[in-house]
Structure 1
Amino acid sequence: MGLRSRLDAVFKGPEQFDLTSGGVGKPLFFLALPIVVTNLFQTAYNLADTFWLGQYSTDSLAAISFGFPLVFLLISLGMGVSVAGSVLVAQHTGAGEERETEYAASQTVTFAAIASLLLGGVGYVFVEDLLRLLGASTDVLPLATSYLEVITLGLVFMFGFFVFIALMRGYGDTITPMLVMFGSVVLNIVIDPFLIFGWWVFPEMGIRGAAVATVFSRALALVVGLAIMFEGSRGVQINIRDMTPDLGYLRRLARIGLPATVEGTGRALSMNLLLVVVALFPDTVVAAYGIGTRVFSVVFLPAIAVARGVETMTGQNIGAGEPDRAEAAAALAAKVLFGVLSVLGVVVFVAPEPIVSVFVGAGQENADQVVSVGAEFLRYVALTFGFIGIMRAYTGSFRGAGKTLTAAAISVLMLGVVRLPVAWFSAQAVGETGIWVAFAVSNVIGAVVAYAWYQRGTWRDADLTDSETVGADAAATDD
């Protein structure tokens, strides 16, 4: 029995369950489980960098606290292309429109490549100015700049792989991206310390080495992903003949994707503006903030994965004319995520110090202070983890229905209208503790708003496949 057969027996691929008929629990589970594992691998990139750089120096750890949000900002500016592609692929797949599915995926790859090259170039030119604007200290600025210069030059590889994952997920195949991600993560983790510390024949590159390891491993993953999609035996297929830029189709992608870009950019800007608040405090607080947000990225893996599963199920069921199944999937996801994340929150609340200590080298300067501040951060936020699950489940369904503007509005409200102002004013009054309070308050409000908005039922009006128009576009390129 081959490796692929064994994995299919455990995870089950799209050919083994139907997203548009029968119960919703099992298909949602089998769709989301590989996404959880894929996202765990994705997070391993960040955790590996955080761990090794934590052993290297406290300033390097503070530098990636500035680096990650800026990378997220650049990727978020192009996120709408991948979200739109995933939604269109899901809806056409649910409607049984194979030719339109291939055309949507091919056009998405083309415009994603163009967007990432432009964003990477702009990011490279202005990275140091942005870091100064965010308040990076004189010790941290050159390190963060060094890291981000490499990342921006390799942004096309990083963003390209995200697009591969999104398109395969829209089709319903979450296993193949998981396998490709696994190989990429293993490679990154192995070469990380060699490039950071200068082991064996490699020069000591410090924080720049972490960036080189990430870009190199992502580039190989993208090559494999493109080969899989061109070959077409697993998941969605792309074709060279469909990749000539179609400005008419770009308008369709923009109509769905622009709000998703607003949502992602809003999240990223909130993260970066929060850094402005955090940077008012010593580098130990900045380092603790970076560790805390990395821990959240692990804890929220189930929420992100299930939300993406809900997105795919909603898209395919909207395409198949089954909105009640989409609603049932979102409700089930919200309940399960609230329970699971609440349990994880209790665990983190009880023992935050050992978790933070993993990322701080014992011999580093001010290590004890970083651990203390990071533990306080986790303890304030932990008991609101479950509310993140509720918000993610419903915003995922909004996106799958093509209501990306609604999802964006909820995200901007939570982060820009609630979290950032609360953090700013609370930090002035009670110090860094005010920032932690802002996270907790915004998590709860975001969940309440998402649930209430979803109950209005406006997402049921979605009809974005526009089959006759898309079909004509695709047919025009057929041989």
Structure 2
Amino acid sequence: MSAADTSYMKEKPVLSLLLSMGIPMMLSMLINSLYNIVDGIFVARMSEDAMMAISLVYPVQNLLHSIAVGFGVGTNAVIAIFLGSQKGESASSAASQGILLNIFHGLLFMIFGILFMRPFLNMFTSNETVIVYGMQYGIIVLCFSMIHTTELSFEKIFQSVGHMKTSMISLGSSCMVNIILDPLLIFGIGPFPEMGIRGAALATGIGQTTGLCIYLLTSRIRPLNLQFKPQYFKPTQNICRRLYGIGIPATLNMALPSVLISVLNILLGTFSETQVLVLGIYYKLQSFLYLPANGIIQGMRPIMSYNYGARESSRVKKIYQTSLSIIVLILLAGTVLCLVVPDQLIHLFSNNAATITAGRQALRIICIGFAISGISVVTAGALEAMGKGMESLLISCLRYIVLILPLAFILSHFIGVGGVWHAFWITEVITAALSAFIFYRQYQAIA
């Protein structure tokens, strides 16, 4: 592997480089968030019980996604750091072992997920219709676990060498297949069978399979600057330690929202099932806002990892500041939407007047913290890119567990359900201040 293959990561102007790598991922994330919204709209047309079911299964899906993406982030960072240090063979070993280990993660999750799906649903509802829907949807989704983890491994590997357009095409194709198949399989249009909520799950699995096939085909037609030789797939202590050293904290970072949602579902259930539904709708809408921001983060990671490996400290700081500026602008746009048209946003998922009223209150309060949350989001991604997994995990723990849960319980006791929503923005303000402090301490160590 020649140095010229990736040297542009420390030579090209930061803003143009970040946009060239971040915009394809932004578009991918926007398409993906569109899928999440469209999927919810079609399921909601079945019934609110069906929408409730996928809201309850969402933390399980998110946990699987978190494991795959989190470990993929570790793989991405290790590959890019090795490339920045001009260690091509080590980069190839990291890519090969990352794929193998993530396939194994998917297998374990499928087995345990299917075994414990019903007990998990029983924790949140006694409505048998919701439980049946949740089982039908969840088990089919889990059967595609290994395909999903493998697809996401390839996504992060392609991103680590700067092939963002391939990721955009793969993710976009996956989502479009899903969107097209959703109404056909849910409602039985034309020659397709009417499968109900099972159809929504099957459409998701077929979309993931499509994405994986595109990566495999592309890697055959236009091979990466990484080698996948049999000897590279044999796990080694050094590579595995580095992959898991970043991957485990990154996985926990992504899994913590699932824990938060599950705990808040219990708390909100003490008020009404409507509030539980509002939380599920909020996270569907949130994906439309934060996934584009995460697209910039995905573009930022390999650039920052490469420059960190190359010891380009001033460039690392500039990458951080530029990414932060872009993401704050994205989150400000989301704030305006939630303040101006909250009813229309909730109406996408429910026609129930009580749900729309409760959702309006939630969105207008939560969105106060959107822009300031950009500091925490960028800092966590930057620390992962620098191999500082535990520091990144600390930020996520503050956002999703340590601060928000006690605040939600305390404030809800005094001011009712609105206290849960106020806990979101208060947490973001505190975490942002701590995140900025953590990043600049780490930066001083390499400056």
Cα gap change, 1:197 to 1:265, in 2 (>3 Å): same
Cα gap change, 1:326 to 1:156, in 2 (>3 Å): same
Q: Is 1:288 aligned to 2:278, yes or no?
A: yes
Q: Aligned residue for 2:373?
A: 388
Q: Which amino acid aligns with 2:386?
A: A
229-238 vs 396-405, which deviates more?
Answer: 229-238
Q: Are the counterparts in 1 of residues 91 and 226 from structure 2 also a CA contact under 8 Å?
A: yes
Cα gap change, 1:144 to 1:281, in 2 (>3 Å): farther
Residue 371 (structure 1) aligned to one of 337, 356, 367: 356
Q: List per-residue Cα deviations over 1:56-99 (Å, max 9, x = no partner).
A: 11111111111111211233245442121100111122233333
Q: List per-residue Cα deviations over 1:426-467 (Å, max 9, x = no partner).
A: 2333332222111111222221111111121357459xxxxx
Deviation at 1:164, TM superposition (A): 1.6
Q: Aligned residue for 2:163?
A: 173
Deviation at 1:341, TM superposition (A): 1.5
Cα distance between partner residues in 2 of 1:407 and 1:35:
21
Cα distance between partner residues in 1 of 2:256 and 2:345:
29
Q: Aligned residue for 1:349?
A: 339
Q: Are the counterparts in 2 of residues 311 and 398 from structure 1 also a CA contact under 8 Å?
A: no
Q: List per-residue Cα deviations over 1:298-356 (Å, max 9, x = no partner).
A: 11123212222222221010121212211111122223322331233123212111121
Cα distance between partner residues in 1 of 2:354 and 2:182:
26
Q: Aligned residue for 1:402?
A: 387
Q: Aligned residue for 1:76?
A: 66
Cα distance between partner residues in 2 of 1:425 and 1:163:
40
Q: Aligned residue for 2:109?
A: 119
Cα gap change, 1:269 to 1:459, in 2 (>3 Å): farther
Give TM-score, length-normalised by structure 2. Answer: 0.93
How many residues matched?
Answer: 444
Residue 247 (structure 2) aligned to one of 249, 257, 266: 257
Q: Is 1:435 aligned to 2:415, yes or no?
A: no
Q: Aligned residue for 2:98?
A: 108
Give TM-score, length-normalised by structure 1. Answer: 0.87
Q: Aligned residue for 2:310?
A: 320
122-131 vs 239-248, which deviates more?
Answer: 239-248
Q: Is 1:223 aligned to 2:208, yes or no?
A: no
Cα gap change, 1:437 to 1:137, in 2 (>3 Å): farther
Deviation at 1:17, TM superposition (A): 8.7
Cα gap change, 1:374 to 1:461, in 2 (>3 Å): same
111-120 vs 165-174, which deviates more?
Answer: 165-174
CA RMSD of aligned residues (A): 2.3
Q: Are the counterparts in 1 of residues 320 and 382 from structure 2 also a CA contact under 8 Å?
A: yes
Q: Are the counterparts in 1 of residues 78 and 242 from structure 2 also a CA contact under 8 Å?
A: no
Q: Are the counterparts in 2 of residues 45 and 214 from structure 1 also a CA contact under 8 Å?
A: no
Deviation at 1:218, TM superposition (A): 0.5
Q: Are the counterparts in 1 of residues 6 and 83 from structure 2 also a CA contact under 8 Å?
A: no
Q: Are the counterparts in 2 of residues 176 and 234 from structure 1 also a CA contact under 8 Å?
A: no
Unaligned runs of 5+ in 1: 1-13, 463-479
Q: Are the counterparts in 2 of residues 136 and 279 from structure 1 also a CA contact under 8 Å?
A: no
SS at match of 2:123: helix
Structure with the higher fraction of residues in helix conformation: 2
Q: Which amino acid aligns with 1:346?
A: V
Residue 417 (structure 1) aligned to one of 397, 402, 413: 402
Residue 39 (structure 1) aligned to one of 29, 43, 51: 29
Q: Is 1:96 aligned to 2:81, yes or no?
A: no
Q: Is 1:192 aligned to 2:177, yes or no?
A: no
Unaligned runs of 5+ in 2: none
Q: Is 1:334 aligned to 2:318, yes or no?
A: no
